[in-house]
Each structure stands twice: as C-alpha cells, then as structure tokens.
Chains A and B, each alone.
Chain A
C-alpha cells in the first residue's frame, strides 16, 4: 500500500510540480515565459563552471580505481568488517559508494547477479546503494558551482555520514533479514 503510493507519487511529482509552479506564477501575474527563460540562462554557465572541479575529482578517482588499490584497502579492512558482521563481499561496496556512483552501481548489479537479488547479500548491497549518495561527486559539483576551493570539514562530515549510512544499512538488514 505504502509502496504503491510512493511509486505513484514519484511518477506524478514532476508534472505536478511543473503545473503548480507555472499556474501559480501566472496567477500572480508573473510574465511566465520571460521569467522561465531568464532563470534557464543560468544552466549553461553552471554546467561549464563545474567542469574543472569534476575533472579533478573524477580523474583522481579513476586513477585510484584503475590501479587496483581498492583490493589493498579491502584486504586491510576485511578483519574489521568480519568483526562487525559485514559479509566480505559487501565491503568493496561500502568503500566504493562515496567515490563512484557508476562504479558502485556496477558493483551492486554484479553482486546481485552472482548471489541473487533476494539473498541477504543482495538486499544488503542494494540497501547500501540506497543509503548514501556519491559524496565526492556531490562535493565537486556543489562547491564547483560557486568556486569554493577550501571545503573545510565538508569531506569529513560527508564521510562520517557515509560510514554511518553503511553501518545503518548493515544493522537494519541484519535485524530484519538476519544472517
């Protein structure tokens, strides 16, 4: 029931938002076409502005992933993962999630194909994927758009949120689907 409502909501949300915004603006006597265009002009500028930030971030992550260094981290952290009851197959997912959206999507797909989407590991990795965003991508894009170089505690706070998200996913999956 709730699932159906949520799914329906996500489909009608976009047309609804567009309709409400345009109609409300028209009622308030805003020149809708002019106003829309003047806002849309910013799209190009913002997209171009983030390019250098995105290049810097994605290339560093690309180098890291292509080098195979991830397996070193997985090896080093697997005793710790074992200690908290995380299946070793799910550890790369937890490490990759903040770094790469497409990478973790591929990994999630791969793991679910191998172990089955309804297995404990399958449910766990898809929960992990849904429990976080690609932190480094968000940082590059959002700060890039306003030319922020000094990010202060943003990386630390983002990674703490990721770690808690991953552990939370593990906790709830163990409670509900146990293993």
Chain B
C-alpha cells in the first residue's frame, strides 16, 4: 500500500502543479505584459514611496474586491527600473511574483512611463509558479531528510546508551514483567521475556510523558528486537505493524508542542487541550490496534513466508 500512496503523492503533485500552471497561463493570472499603475512620492533622488489602492489592485488582477485601503511600499528607483520592497501586508499575488523571481523580499519592475505622480510599470514575467515550487521542494526536502537524520545522531546515541544500561542491568526485564498481562495480549507473537517487550514499553512510556526525543531511540531499538524475530527480513511482521499503529496514534499525557504554541500565541488556558487530546489520541490508539489486528487477517495483507525477499536481502 505504501507503494501506491507514494506513487499517488508524486503523480497527483506533479499533475496538479502542471494543471494549475496551465490554467494560470491561459487566464494570464499574473497579468504578464500588462502595465500596472502606481502613485509615487519621491523621498530622495532615487528613493520613493509607491502606493496603490487595493481596489485598483483587485480589479487589475480580476480578483474579488475585499478591501478598499491604500497600500504603500518603499522603493528604490533608477532610470528605468525600480525595486519595490515588500512587507507583511503585501497581497499574496505579489508575494508569489517575488518568490518566483527568486527574491521573496522585493520585486524588480521595469518603468515604462511616468506622468505626473503616476508611474506605469511592468512586473517581472511570472509563469510556471507551481512547477518551480515543486522543483524547489524536491531539493529542499531531500536536504531536510538528511538534516533530520543527522540531527538525530546525538540524541539517538545518548538514549541508546541509556537503554543499553537498562538492558545490561536487567531493569528492562523487570519493567517488561510488570506490563506482561497487557503486552502479551497486544503482542501474542512475542515471547513475554523477549527484550522487544521491554523496549516497546520504554517507547510507549516515553511517548506518554511527552519525551519524544527519547521515544524514537527506544522505538527503533524495539524495532530491531522485533526484526530479530522476523523470519522474512524486509517484510513487516504483525507485531511491528501493531507497534507502529500505537506510535502513529501518538498517545501522550502531555501534548507539549501544542500547549507551548497555544501559550506563545496568548491563550488564557493553554492546557485546556490536555483532556481533549488524550481522548482523541486514546481513541486513535484503540482504533489503530484494532485495525492492525483485523487487517492482518485479510488475504492481501497476510504475512506470507513464500514471497520473494527484497532485492537487497536476496543479494546477500
């Protein structure tokens, strides 16, 4: 299924980008080649404040008129071109124009003619907006993936070290024994004394306490232990999928990130979501475990020891 989801994300993304760009080109959404009229006030020889009414802007671009105020921007003017500095209030359309021309903070426009306080300008030609955004995404997200992975090394090493201490001292086994009645029911395939149980409990406990940077190393340790019981490397076992379903539900006593953001924005009661998100994530956990247990019996998803192994494993 992951194959289809992956394919779907890419194909839908590329098609949607192409479709939206073709539509924009056919309606000339960015009014390429049309003169835009600005009012300007010189502040010095080559600096000015330029302005236009929002009404004129909306009419020019053929969008619904929403506001009637006047927007003004500082600008640097030379003989026949100008740089308009953008601000927070800049309409989205102009922000897109600036972004597509590679500098999101200013627009470089050509001055066509001046008459009195009016300035007629041509904005840079803007096309293939979505396609360019997709190309940028490919590059920036590839780097992001590596950044995330590299950023994990330190924390990962630390918690795996702590985890090893707990394994060597037998603490993990003690923790596992305490939770045995629940764990044997959720993971009937795993022997109750197996180190995987201890690691999974540590992961779930860390998640519950909102310690997400400790939860990931514990979870990955658990995956390694689960994989040691896997008769067919490269294919997920039932226990792995159930464990993952619990993790994707993200059950936590303290949704720390959401609370922090609420507090930062000035909520009167940032922790009001403690109960509600516990409820939501609790339902999600139950549904995830139930779905994993039911789906594992379906023919399409059944664990089949006869399927050929993945190319990498086969090569060894």
Identify the A interface with B (CB < 8 A): 2-3, 6-7, 9-10, 13-14, 17-18, 21-22, 24-25, 27-28, 30, 32, 35-44, 46-48, 50-51, 54-69, 72, 98, 105, 108-109, 112-113, 117-118, 122-123, 126-133, 135-136, 138-139, 141-143, 145-158, 160-169, 172-173, 176
Q: Decide: B17 and A68 in contact? CB cutoff 8 A.
A: yes
B209 at interface by CB-CB < 8 Å: yes
In the bound assembly, the distance between CA atoms of A150 and B227 in angstroms comes to 13
Q: Quick one: which of B154, B162, B242, B285 contacts A21, CB cutoff 8 A?
A: B162
B204 at interface by CB-CB < 8 Å: no
B216 at interface by CB-CB < 8 Å: yes
Q: Which residues of B contact A135 (CB under 8 A)?
A: 248
Q: Decide: A126 and B258 in contact? CB cutoff 8 A.
A: yes
In the bound assembly, the distance between CA atoms of A126 and B163 in angstroms comes to 32
Q: Name B233's closest neighbour in chain A (CB-CB).
A: A147
* Residue of A30, A47, A66, A130 ringed by the most chain B CB atoms within 10 A: A130
In the bound assembly, the distance between CA atoms of A9 and B210 in angstroms comes to 10
Q: Which residues of B contact A138 (CB under 8 A)?
A: 244, 247-248
Query: Which B residues between 269 and 296 are near A, CB-CB below 8 angstroms?
Result: 269-277, 279-288, 291-292, 295-296
Which of the segments B61-69, B111-119, B141-149 contacts the partner chain? Answer: B141-149
Question: Separation in Å of the B133 CB from the closest CB of chain A?
Answer: 4
Q: Decide: A13 and B211 in contact? CB cutoff 8 A.
A: yes
Q: Decide: A32 and B276 in contact? CB cutoff 8 A.
A: no
Q: Decide: A21 and B166 in contact? CB cutoff 8 A.
A: yes
B2 at interface by CB-CB < 8 Å: yes
Q: Quick one: which of B6, B160, B211, B241 contacts A43, CB cutoff 8 A?
A: B160
Q: Decide: B292 and A157 in contact? CB cutoff 8 A.
A: yes
Q: Decide: B220 and A131 in contact? CB cutoff 8 A.
A: no
Q: Decide: B140 and A139 in contact? CB cutoff 8 A.
A: no
In the bound assembly, the distance between CA atoms of A36 and B262 in angstroms comes to 38
- Interface residues on chain B, number (Cβ under 8 Å): 119
Q: Decide: B171 and A36 in contact? CB cutoff 8 A.
A: no
A58 and B141 in contact, given A41-B157, A127-B280 (Cβ under 8 angstroms): yes
A sample of 20 inter-chain contacts (CB < 8 A) reads: A24-B171, A25-B169, A36-B164, A40-B158, A60-B10, A63-B13, A69-B16, A109-B261, A128-B280, A131-B277, A133-B248, A145-B220, A147-B310, A147-B312, A149-B310, A150-B236, A156-B295, A168-B282, A169-B277, A172-B280
Q: Decide: A126 and B142 in contact? CB cutoff 8 A.
A: no
B45 at interface by CB-CB < 8 Å: no
Q: Which residues of A contact B140 (CB under 8 A)?
A: 62
Q: Decide: B2 and A155 in contact? CB cutoff 8 A.
A: yes
Q: Which residues of B contact A126 (CB under 8 A)?
A: 255, 258-259, 261-262, 273, 277
Q: Quick one: which of B144, B209, B283, B288 contacts A10, CB cutoff 8 A?
A: B209
A145 and B224 in contact, given A152-B303, A161-B287 (Cβ under 8 angstroms): yes
Which 3 pairs between the two chains have the least Cβ-Cβ distance? A39-B164, A43-B157, A131-B280
Q: Decide: B280 and A166 in contact? CB cutoff 8 A.
A: yes
Question: Separation in Å of the B150 CB from the closest CB of chain A?
Answer: 7
Question: Separation in Å of the B91 CB from the closest CB of chain A?
Answer: 17
Q: Decide: B165 and A39 in contact? CB cutoff 8 A.
A: yes
In the bound assembly, the distance between CA atoms of A128 and B141 in angstroms comes to 25
In the bound assembly, the distance between CA atoms of A151 and B301 in angstroms comes to 9
In the bound assembly, the distance between CA atoms of A102 and B135 in angstroms comes to 19
Question: Separation in Å of the A151 CB from the closest CB of chain B?
Answer: 5
Q: Which residues of B contact A158 (CB under 8 A)?
A: 244-245, 248, 288
Q: Which residues of B contact A56 (CB under 8 A)?
A: 6
Q: Name B18's closest neighbour in chain A (CB-CB).
A: A67
B182 at interface by CB-CB < 8 Å: no
A154 and B2 in contact, given A112-B262, A145-B223, A168-B284 (Cβ under 8 angstroms): yes
Q: Decide: B170 and A28 in contact? CB cutoff 8 A.
A: yes
With A46-B217, A146-B230 given, can you name 5 additional A-B contacts, CB distance below 8 Å?
A28-B170, A63-B138, A67-B20, A147-B310, A172-B276
B108 at interface by CB-CB < 8 Å: no
Q: Name A102's closest neighbour in chain B (CB-CB).
A: B144
Query: Which B residues between 90 and 122 are near A, CB-CB below 8 angstroms?
Result: none
